[in-house]
Structure 1
């Protein structure tokens, strides 16, 4: 009881003292050590055990029809999802069973030769819009899981050069030739012929190529891969997306012309300076100048030589001497004013 309490206390102290991630790392290291301890060679020198032949024969019979495969883009193709989904896609759910093996690979066990051949004949197959590499497995000759059997449509062969030997030669220029789909009687009524090739996924796809049926005369042929899904549009590889390609658009052409770099240097790269935005500042008005200008306009009608006191001599003496004289007795002002008393005496009395 005391040891349990000490152990619980030690774990709780670890989780409180150190972060949870550090604790998980310690647990993982302990599990790895326990596995490593069991890898010792105890029992290596013991006598071998023999399995009965009938049990071995039954096991081989059950595992005769195996299809091995791997995803071309593991980051986008989960192995468990592939095993769970592909039997249903093939229409053999409950009959085909899958399992994950090492090296990022998987296996599908089929019940019969017919079911296995049907899947191979209807291929190639894709998962999550990316290709799958599927090849039949043989115990004596394990396949190199790098090849996808594609049916390729070849377009543009002139009719007067069209025969099986020419088609086979063009197919072998693309990859290992598996089959040729050609009917001499119907060739004049179709736009293409078909070849089946085993395409190495480590090589970039090619959709056009110049072929010389006559010396010095190039004929452009176009290739279309049936049931093709997901490839890099920059370099043509199936193993990554266009956005993850490390090869820019012009690098391939640059590598092809490396020998001519000395004679034809690359053009100078001019950086785009973009759009330069400048602030438009209107000049502020000069207030003093505007005020002076208004004053000049206002003084245009004033006579600088005018004497404002020149007419005072024409005025009567009493106005000129005493401008504040009683206006009631002033004959100059009285005619302009009505000084008659109010007809109502009650109004005039308060003012008196």
Structure 2
């Protein structure tokens, strides 16, 4: 169609309208499904208030970029939801972030996980060592080491911000001290349900994993 005026100087919305828009989004966060093949944003919009036990307390709007804005009436409801993650829809992860963080590169990029570290020898259960191991999984926000109480064995936990573009690690050999055999540790992510069982990505299922095609291609070239 005609675009008369498109090559002229851009207009700017009046400042009072911009301020009002920002004020309307003060108690707003944005949600996005990580696996678009399995997650529908309209259904995320309708289902999540029920998952948070906040029916009637939050309004939602699907955006053109396949994200969903959730508007809260009370700040403590918003904070409770943000701190209670991670969240998922039909088993696949959802990433949340405050609308006010939209201008930052980290927007909608990280999911907070509590990760239990198993098989770490008791003598290595120290804050510095656990923090170092946790840093391989994501940005460490907190370290928790519990002591043995009666029949409850000690546990080692880290809370990390996990990059949604990364892949999950469920086990890894770790050299803790020089000239000592590596220890094979196992990692259990609280709240994690569905992921690609081939590469560990949240963004697709194993049936469409590009790594499967890469492995097949490498096998073909090797055989030929």
After superposition, what is the alpha-carbon deviation per residue over 1:112-154, rounded to whole angstroms, capped at 9, x for unaligned?
3211111122211111221111122216734432221111111
After superposition, what is the alpha-carbon deviation per residue over 1:191-236, rounded to whole angstroms, capped at 9, x for unaligned?
5311111111222211011112232311111000111121111111
Structure 2 portions without partners, runs of 5+: none
DSSP-derived class of the 1:213 partner: coil
Q: C-alpha separation between the residues in 2 aligned to 1:238 and 1:81? A: 19
**1:137/1:181 CA distance change after superposition, 3 Å:** farther
Structure 1 portions without partners, runs of 5+: 1-35, 256-265, 270-352
Q: Bigger relative contact order, structure 1 or 2, given CA contacts below 8 A and separation 6+?
A: 2
Which structure has more helix as a fraction of its residues? 1
CA contact (8 A) 1:90 1:119 kept: yes
After superposition, what is the alpha-carbon deviation per residue over 1:144-190, rounded to whole angstroms, capped at 9, x for unaligned?
3222111111111111121111111111111111222234576x943
After superposition, what is the alpha-carbon deviation per residue over 1:233-254, rounded to whole angstroms, capped at 9, x for unaligned?
11111111111223239939x7
* Deviation of 1:111 (Å): 1.9
- For 1:130-149, what aligned pairs fall within 5 Å after superposition? 130-138=92-100, 141-142=103-104, 143-149=106-112
Number of equivalences? 218
Equivalent position to 1:238, from 195, 202, 220: 202
2:172 is matched with 209
Is 2:86 aligned against 1:127? no
Q: C-alpha separation between the residues in 2 aligned to 1:49 and 1:172? A: 43
- For 1:105-120, what aligned pairs fall within 5 Å after superposition? 105-120=67-82
2:153 is matched with 190
Q: C-alpha separation between the residues in 1 aligned to 2:194 and 2:52? A: 20
After superposition, what is the alpha-carbon deviation per residue over 1:58-96, rounded to whole angstroms, capped at 9, x for unaligned?
543331122112111112111111111111211111111
Which structure has more strand as a fraction of its residues? 2
* Aligned-residue CA RMSD (Å): 3.1
Pair member with larger Rg: 1
